[in-house]
DNA sequence: TTGAAAGCGCTACCAG
DNA sequence: CTGGTAGCGCTTTCAA
């Protein structure tokens, strides 16, 4: 390993000087700078971030805690964060919490142990001590809190939009699939939908589910048709279960969208690939991740500043699991 | 921040002693140990990994470089790595290369700058200087090399299996979709398929594609049917394009699998959700990631040991885009 | 404009 | 069994 000392020796200056050119601060003579630069080149030196981090009490790492990147919504958030962070010279330490508080705490500890300069988290537990006692710039992603800045999409509005769409397009007996109760955004969108459905002139029923896992999605879909065979409009808890519902509906010979309309949530990349392509409520996942990183980095710069949250708009993406026009 | 010094003071011992109990080495009296333990508890102390890493010249971090976690195959690898690593007290620093050599080099630099103890990479460029001069335990994942241990699935065999399946099931005019030329596993499976197709008594054509991106998958599918409208058996370059092909086929009113059979590659979670559910060649992605981490950690323990690669079996997952039996 | 040296938090060696 | 201390690679005073 080549160290700053080697560079100093090679350039016949002190380590202090090398450090100064490295960090571009303090006075350095033009001559000297050049000498150092070439030494760096020749030795192919790159500074040890760990040593740097130790002294500065802060690395160039940011901690990112997500429920599960195996769920296609999250990789997009992650890429948004990573790309924006990278643009500012930061890298990400990734953790999957599986919505498990133990794992979450473990990761948080890891993050602080590694001197991350800030952290982005999609947690339902900001109120825990772990977070309270955290002395780090923090931004929530895909979650909200009054105590921290957050970047999230308007779930309530998304739920409303989904319901309104289905109603406008003539669904009469809608089934609302309720996501896991402990996942905040899931309940937001559920409430939004109920809000609209409750006021509207349609029958509706609710089916509760407890996970977003791929393996179970088909079971939920099956259960749904068993319980509500007469439904003609389904609001899925997310695109995964939306796609599973298409699958099951087709299997049962239902005509989509004539007989049965389906609307998903998230707009994960594969939703346009389903057949028929899934109508859905889009959350701008990549952009959300990007903004979260942006916000965090801002706060790293000026930690005192009063915090600001960003609510991203949701958007109806009309594809072919809903009808073209209002028709009964 | 509470440091080892604080703990020492609190427990009325020296930092050396605290360090010893922390690391469970050297002699420590039972009494003393207890005192230290309680001090640690009371102060809620956890050691600074950065300082530790600086001294030891090695962190508890492993670098993971993947092409793009936005492609559903990779999050599974990533989770496998992460979970296994976590089990051994390691965490992962994640980088997406986008198959871009620049980004790749950047991340490698970051990894060494942060003292990672080892690295797992899905690269096509092990032969580059960057890797050659790397003095770190390294294992390849989803890629091969003669110079490093690797965990990969048998692409050649997978390609063969796909082709054999289609032939056995009576396809007469098969179309082989060739993945991006610079992605090694893609060409392996392509070759395997050609091997079998060339020997068999069927017509076949090849269609080249240059990416796996979701956005383009539908375009490839469309192009395919334009160029080869008569095909009755398609070997997709991966499940994403397989699913896109189902989409396009259905849109064109083709009967699957009677008129047209399709076989994918990877067995990503969403493949069973398509309709009809996609027959595919499974790569045990999660397990591959897990094994790669296992291998790496082994090598971290004993770096000298001669290296061993692990070839994972591929497996035909018969779902409903291929026919039940051999029938013409 | 430069260099010497202290110190970031921790580990490991050496004395006692 | 325990403590003192050097030193990991770097940054940043402070003096020169």
Tens of pLDDT, residues A3-45: 999 999 999 999 999 999 999 998 999 999 999 999 999 999 9
Q: B253: how many CB neighbours lie within 10 A of its CB?
A: 7
Whether B244 has a pLDDT exceeding 60, the answer reads yes
Cα gap B323→B171, rounded to integer Å: 10
> In this structure, is the dihedral angle defined by the CA atoms of residues B254, B259, B264 and B269, taken in order, positive or negative?
positive
Please say whether the beta carbons of A50 and B115 come within 8 A.
Answer: yes
A293 and A148 within one domain: yes
Q: What mean pLDDT comes out for the span B287-305?
A: 91
Domains in chain A, number? 3
Whether A77 has a pLDDT exceeding 70, the answer reads yes
pTM of the full predicted structure? 0.93
B277 and B159 within one domain: yes
Which of B:108-127 have CB within 8 Å of A? 109-110, 112-115
In a domain, A323, yes or no: no
Domain hosting residue A258, numbered range: 155-283
pLDDT for residue B137 = 94
B20 and B62 within one domain: no
- Report the mean per-residue pLDDT for chain A: 95
pLDDT for residue B128 = 86
Please say whether the beta carbons of A235 and A171 come within 8 A.
Answer: no
CATH code for the domain in which residue B203 is found: 3.40.50.2300
From the list A281, A224, A280, A284, the residue with the least C-alpha distance to A254 is: A224
Name the one residue in this structure whose structure tokens are 């296994």. Answer: B84
Whether A176 has a pLDDT exceeding 80, the answer reads yes
Cβ of A114 and B49 within 8 Å? Answer: yes
Question: Which residue has the least CA–C1' distance to nucleotide D6?
Answer: B55
In a domain, B323, yes or no: no
Dihedrals phi, psi of A213, to nearest 5 degrees: -60, 140
In a domain, B322, yes or no: no
Q: B19: how many CB neighbours lie within 10 A of its CB?
A: 18
A278 and A162 within one domain: yes
Could you tell me if B100 lies within 8 Å of chain A, comparing CB atoms?
no
Question: Which residue has the least CA–C1' distance to nucleotide C7?
Answer: A55
B298 and B246 within one domain: no
Cα gap A21→A28, rounded to integer Å: 7
CA/C1' separation B22–D9 (Å): 23
B71 and B38 within one domain: no
What are the DSSP calls for B58-85, one per residue?
A: --SEEEEEES-TTSTHHHHHHHHHHHHH
A160 and A94 within one domain: no
- Please check whether strand D approaches the CB of B7 to within 7 Å: no
The bridge status of strand B150-153 relative to strand A150-153 is: unpaired
Name the one residue in this structure whose structure tokens are 């993050």. Answer: A111
Gyration radius (Cα) of chain A, Å = 25
B163 and B84 within one domain: no
Please say whether the beta carbons of A150 and A141 come within 8 A.
Answer: yes
Residue A314 DSSP label: P
pLDDT in tens, A181-196: 999 999 999 999 999 9
- Report the mean per-residue pLDDT for chain B: 95
Q: Of A86-90, A321-325, B314-318, give the lowest mean pLDDT range.
A: A321-325
Could you tell me if A46 lies within 8 Å of chain B, comparing CB atoms?
yes
- Banded pLDDT at B328 (limits 50, 70, 90): very low
Please say whether the beta carbons of A241 and A177 come within 8 A.
Answer: yes
pLDDT for residue B129 = 81
CA/C1' separation A14–D16 (Å): 14
Please say whether the beta carbons of A94 and B81 come within 8 A.
Answer: no
pLDDT in tens, A237-263: 999 999 999 999 999 999 999 999 999
B144 and B122 within one domain: yes
What distance, in Å, lies between the first and last C-alpha atoms of chain B? 73
User: What residues does B31 pair with on adjacent strands?
Assistant: none
Cα gap B10→B31, rounded to integer Å: 15
Cα gap B186→A325, rounded to integer Å: 43
User: Using CB atoms within 10 A of its CB, is residue A163 exposed (0-12), middle (13-18) or buried (19+)?
Assistant: buried
Cα gap B154→B120, rounded to integer Å: 19
Instruction: Give percent above pLDDT 70 in chain A.
Output: 99
B146 and B161 within one domain: no
B191 and B79 within one domain: no
B contact test, residue of A113, A135, A136, A244 with most B CBs within 10 A: A113
A130 and A86 within one domain: yes
């Amino acid at each position: 390993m080549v160290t700053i000392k080697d560079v100093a020796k090679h350039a016949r200056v002190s380590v202090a000087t090398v450090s100064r050119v490295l960090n571009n601060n303090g006075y350095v003579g033009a001559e000297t700078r050049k000498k150092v630069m070439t030494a760096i080149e020749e030795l192919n030196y790159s500074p040890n971030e760990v040593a740097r981090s130790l002294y500065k009490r802060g690395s160039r790492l940011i901690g990112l805690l997500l429920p599960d990147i195996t769920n296609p919504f999250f990789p997009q958030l992650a890429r948004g964060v990573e790309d924006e962070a990278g643009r500012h010279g930061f890298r990400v330490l990734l953790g999957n919490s599986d919505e498990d508080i133990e794992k979450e705490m473990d990761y948080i500890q890891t993050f602080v142990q590694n001197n991350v300069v800030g952290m982005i988290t999609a947690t339902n537990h900001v109120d825990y001590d772990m977070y309270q006692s955290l002395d780090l710039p923090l931004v929530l992603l895909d979650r909200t809190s009054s105590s921290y800045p957050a970047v999230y999409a308007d779930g309530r509005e998304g739920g409303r939009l989904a319901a309104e769409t289905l109603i406008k397009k003539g669904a009469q007996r809608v089934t609302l699939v309720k996501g896991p109760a402990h996942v905040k955004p899931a309940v937001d969108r559920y409430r939004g939908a109920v809000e609209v459905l409750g006021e509207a002139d349609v029958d509706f029923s609710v089916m509760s589910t407890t996970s977003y896992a791929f393996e179970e999605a088909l079971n939920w879909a099956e259960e749904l048709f068993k319980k509500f065979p007469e439904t003609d409009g389904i609001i899925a808890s997310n695109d995964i279960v939306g796609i599973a519902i298409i699958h099951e509906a087709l299997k049962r010979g239902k005509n989509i969208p004539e007989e049965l309309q389906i609307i998903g949530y998230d707009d994960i990349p594969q939703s346009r690939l389903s057949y028929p392509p899934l109508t859905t409520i889009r959350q701008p996942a990549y952009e959300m991740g990007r903004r979260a990183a942006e916000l965090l980095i801002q706060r790293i710069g000026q930690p005192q500043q009063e915090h600001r949250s960003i609510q991203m708009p949701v958007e109806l993406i009309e594809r072919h699991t809903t009808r073209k026009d209002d028709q009964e």
